[in-house]
Chain A
Amino acid sequence: MWKIGKVAQREFLDTVKTRTFLLSLLLIPVLIVGIILLSRKMAQSEGGPRPALRVGLTSPAGELLSRITTAFAEYNRANPQTPLDLQLLSEGEDGTSPEQRGKDHLRQGKLEACIVLEGDLEAGQGTLQFYSYKAKASQIDALWTVERLLRDAVIDRRYQVRGIDPAMLAEIRSVPIRRVELGEERGREQVQSEGQRVARMMVPFAFMYLIFIGIVGMGQHMITSIIEEKNSRIIEMLLSSISPFQLMAGKILGLAGVGLTVMALWGSAAYGTATWQGIRIDIGPDLLAYGLAYYVLGFILFSAILAGVGSICNTVKETQSLMMPITLIFVIPLIAWPQLARDPNGDLARILTYVPLTTPMLMVLRLSSGPNLWWGEIAISFVVLVAGVLASIWAAAKIFRTGILLYGKRPGPREVLRWLREK
Chain B
Amino acid sequence: MTYAIELREIRKSFGPVRAVDGLSLAVPRGAVYGFLGPNGAGKTTTLRMIMDIIRPDSGEIRLFSEPSSRSVRSRVGYMPEERGLYRKMTAVAVLRYFGSLKGMTAAQLSQCVPAWLERIDLTGYANKKVEELSRGMHQKLQFAATVINDPELVILDEPFSGLDPVNQDLLREIITTMRSQGRTVLFSTHGMHEAEQLCDFIVLINQGKVVVDGTLDQIRSRHESDTISIEIEGDGAFVGTLPQVAAVRPDGRRLDVTLHDGADPQELLRILVERSRVRAFEVKHPSLHEIFVRLVGGGHVEDR
Chain A contacts to B: CB under 8 angstroms: 3, 6-7, 10, 14, 228, 231-234, 236-243, 401-402, 405, 407
Contacts and interface: CB of A to CB of B under 8 A. Distances in A.
Interface string B273-300: 0000000000000000000000000000
Given A232-B84, A232-B85, A237 B98 contact: yes
Given A14-B86, A232-B87, A234-B86, A240 B142 contact: no
B64 interface: no
Contact of B83 (A3, A7, A233, A405): A233
B80 A240 contact: yes
A228 B84 CA distance: 10
Contact of A237 (B54, B73, B79, B88): B79
Interface residues of B, number: 30
A149 to B, nearest CB: 63
Contacts of B222: none
Given A6-B100, A10-B97, A236 B70 contact: no
B85 to A, nearest CB: 6
Given A6-B101, A14-B89, A240-B78, 19 more contacts: A3-B101, A6-B100, A7-B101, A10-B97, A14-B86, A233-B80, A234-B85, A236-B82, A237-B79, A237-B84, A237-B85, A240-B51, A240-B73, A240-B146, A241-B73, A243-B70, A401-B54, A405-B53, A407-B82
A413 to B, nearest CB: 15
Contacts, number: 65
Interface string B138-153: 0000100110000000
Given A14-B88, A241-B73, A243-B70, A236 B80 contact: yes
B48 to A, nearest CB: 8
Contacts of B76: 240
Nearest to B131: A232
A236 B83 contact: yes
28 contacts: A14-B88, A228-B86, A228-B87, A232-B84, A232-B85, A232-B87, A233-B80, A234-B84, A234-B86, A236-B80, A236-B82, A237-B80, A237-B83, A237-B84, A237-B85, A237-B98, A237-B145, A239-B53, A240-B53, A240-B76, A240-B80, A241-B73, A241-B74, A241-B98, A241-B101, A242-B101, A401-B54, A405-B54
Contacts of B97: 6, 10
Contacts of B102: 241
A228 B89 CA distance: 13
Contacts of A405: 48, 53-54
A226 to B, nearest CB: 13
A239 B101 CA distance: 10
Question: What does DSSP make chain A's interface, helix, strand, loop or mixed?
Answer: helix
B115 to A, nearest CB: 20
Nearest to A241: B101
A232 B53 contact: no
Contacts of A407: 82
A3 B48 CA distance: 21
Contacts of B53: 236, 239-240, 405
A401 B88 CA distance: 25
B86 A232 contact: yes
A319 to B, nearest CB: 19
Contacts of B142: 237
A236 B82 CA distance: 7
Contacts of A239: 51, 53
Nearest to A5: B100
Nearest to A250: B101
Nearest to A406: B14
A102 B93 CA distance: 77
A6 B103 CA distance: 10
Nearest to B88: A14
A10 B89 CA distance: 10
Contacts of A228: 86-87
Nearest to B76: A240
Nearest to B99: A241
Identify which of B52, B84, B97 gathers the most chain A CB atoms within 10 Å of its CB.
Answer: B84
Nearest to A6: B100
Identify which of A6, A231, A241 gathers the most chain B CB atoms within 10 Å of its CB.
Answer: A241
Contacts of B51: 239-240
A94 to B, nearest CB: 79
A237 B76 CA distance: 12
A238 B78 CA distance: 10
B81 to A, nearest CB: 8
Interface in B109-138: none
A240 B101 CA distance: 10
A228 B142 CA distance: 17
A63 B94 CA distance: 88
Identify which of A240, A243, A407 gathers the most chain B CB atoms within 10 Å of its CB.
Answer: A240
A6 B83 CA distance: 20
Contacts of B52: 243
B88 A233 contact: no
A323 B102 CA distance: 34
B149 to A, nearest CB: 9
Contacts of B103: 3
Contacts of B77: 240
Interface in B23-76: 48, 51-54, 70, 73-74, 76
Interface in B184-233: none
A6 B86 CA distance: 15
Contacts of B48: 236, 405
Contacts of A6: 97, 100-101
> Nearest 6 pairs between A and B by C-beta?
A233-B84, A240-B78, A232-B84, A236-B80, A241-B101, A233-B82
